[in-house]
Amino acid sequence: MRGQGSLDLGEVDSAWSGMRVAVVSASWHTQVVDGLRAGATRVADRAGVVCTEFVAPGSFELPVLAHHAAASGRFDAIVALGVVIRGGTPHFDYVCSAATDGLTRVALDHGIAVGFGLLTCDTEEQARDRAGLEASREDKGAEAMVSALRAARTIRDIQAG
Q: 45-82: string of b/e by CB count within 10 Å (b at 16+)?
A: eebebebeeeebeebbbbbebbbebbeeeebbbbbbbb
Q: Kindly list the strands in the beta sheet with 50-56, ordered across the sheet, starting from the edge strand earlier in the chain.
A: 50-56, 20-26, 77-85, 113-121
Q: Residue 151 corresponds to which amino acid?
A: A
From the candidates 67, 68, 91, 110, which is the catalytic residue? 91
* 3-state class (DSSP) for residue 81: strand
The whole-angstrom separation of Cα 93 and Cα 108 is 22
Cα dihedral 2, 75, 106, 35 sign: positive
Do residues 102 and 144 touch, judged by C-beta distance below 8 A? no
110 is catalytic: no
Q: Which residues are catalytic?
A: 91
